[in-house]
Amino acid sequence: MTYPTISARAHANIALAKYWGKASVQNNMPAVPSVSVTLKALTTTTRVTWDEWLTDDEIQVNGVIQQGRGRERVVELLDRVRRFAGISVRARVISSNDFPTAAGLASSASAFAALALAATQGAGLGWDRARISDLARQSSASAARSLYGGFVRLGAGEGSTTYLPAEPLASAEHWDLRIVVAVLSDKAKAVGSTVGMNHTQTSSPYFEAWKAFCHGLAPRIEEAILRKDLKEVGEMAEQSALAMHASAMAAAPAVIYFEPTTLAVLQAVRDMRGGGLSAYATMDAGPHVKVITMGADADEVVERLERIPGVLRTMVSEVGGPAEIVSP
C-alpha cells in the first residue's frame, strides 16, 4: 500500500495560566488546568511519509538526525498511530522550527502538534481535532493546545482520566494582542520541562500551594480573556509565571531557569507599565521573557527590550491560528 506524504504546520503557544506538574506521569496528564494563546510567529513544519521500504523510523529535526530521548518521544507517538491504524509501516519524519529548539520557547508544543496531525492524516485515520489533540497531549501536554488557534484551555487530569484534549476558548480574531518575545539564549536549556516539573512536584514545599492556586486562577483568566481585559489577564499571567518559577526554585536542589538578563527584562517590563505602556511579562521553563501587549504599544516595547544588554533579539507575534495541513 502507498501512503501519501503529509506536511503539517503548527504554532507554539504561551500559557497565560501555566501548566507545571503531572497528575499521571504514565498518561502525561497535567495536574493543573492551563490557558494559552497561540503564537503566529513561532512555527514548526513537519513532513511525515509512511514508507513500506523503511526498516526503522527516520527522524530529522532542523537537519539533524535525532537520537536518544528526543527520538524516543517521536517514535512513541508514531507507535500510537500505528496501533490505532493497524499498520506496522515505519515513517520518515522531517521537521523544522523557525525559532530556537528546546530553549524554553514551546518548541515541543508546536512540534508534537504538527507531528500528530501529519502522522494521523498520512496513516488514513479520520480523526477529529479533539482526538488528535489528545494524541499530541500524550507526548507533550502543551502540544494539545497547539492544535487550536487563538486562546485555548486544557483541563487537569482527574482520577482515572485517560482522554483529555484541549478545547478552544476564543478564536485568533477575538483579540488583537501582540506577544513580544525577548530571546536571551539560543542554547538548549540544561533542565528539560518534564524533568524540571517532575522534580518540582516531588521535592518543592510549594508544589501543593501551586496546584491550589492554579485551579482558582484558570477560570478567572478565561473570563478576563473573553472580556478582553488586558490589565486583568496580564496581571494574572505575570503572577502565574512567577509562581511557577518560585515553586521550581524551591525544589531540592533548585530548578532555576532564570539568567541574569531575565531579571533585567522583568524589571524593564514593570518600568514600562509604570510609564503607561500596556506591558505584562510571562515566561515558560526557560530564560526568555514574553511580553503581552497591544499592537499600538508593540514597537515601543520592542525598542525598550532591545536596549537591554543580554537580549539577543526580539520576535513580535500576533495571535496565531490552528495547526493545519500544508503542501508537502
Burial of 264 (0-12, 13-18, 19+ CB in 10 A): middle
Domain end among 129, 151, 173: 173
Domain end among 126, 158, 173: 173
Q: Indicate the length of the chain as a whole number.
A: 328
For residue 94, being part of any structural domain is answered with yes
Do both 197 and 264 map to the same domain?
yes
Do both 19 and 45 map to the same domain?
yes
Dihedrals phi, psi of 311, to nearest 5 degrees: -80, 115
Supply the pLDDT for residue 328.
Answer: 64
Taking only the tens place, the pLDDT of each residue in 22-37 is: 999 989 999 999 999 9
For residue 328, being part of any structural domain is answered with no
Residue 99 near residue 105 (C-beta atoms within 8 A): yes
For residue 149, being part of any structural domain is answered with yes
Residue 184 near residue 288 (C-beta atoms within 8 A): yes
Supply the pLDDT for residue 186.
Answer: 83
Do both 273 and 226 map to the same domain?
yes
Burial of 308 (0-12, 13-18, 19+ CB in 10 A): middle
Report the number of secondary-structure helices (H) and strands (E) in the chain. 9, 14
**Distances 65 to 8, 48, 328 between C-alpha atoms, Å:** 19, 15, 20
Mean model confidence pLDDT for the chain:
95
Do both 206 and 98 map to the same domain?
no
Q: How confident is the model at residue 103 (pLDDT cuts 50, 70, 90)?
A: low
Taking only the tens place, the pLDDT of each residue in 118-172 is: 999 999 999 999 999 999 999 999 999 999 999 999 999 987 889 999 999 999 9
For residue 324, being part of any structural domain is answered with no
H/E stretch holding 182? strand 177-183
For residue 325, being part of any structural domain is answered with no
Asked if residue 107 has pLDDT above 90, the reply is: no
CATH of the domain at 96: 3.30.230.10
**Distances 96 to 46, 69, 134, 163, 301 between C-alpha atoms, Å:** 7, 18, 22, 29, 29
The amino acid present at 131, given as its one-letter code, is R
Q: Write out the residue range of the structural domain in which residue 129 sits.
A: 6-173
Asked if residue 102 has pLDDT above 60, the reply is: no
Domain end among 120, 140, 173: 173
Taking only the tens place, the pLDDT of each residue in 292-307 is: 999 999 999 999 999 9
Q: What is the DSSP letter of 319?
A: B
CATH of the domain at 237: 3.30.70.890
Domains of the chain: total: 2
Do both 120 and 183 map to the same domain?
no
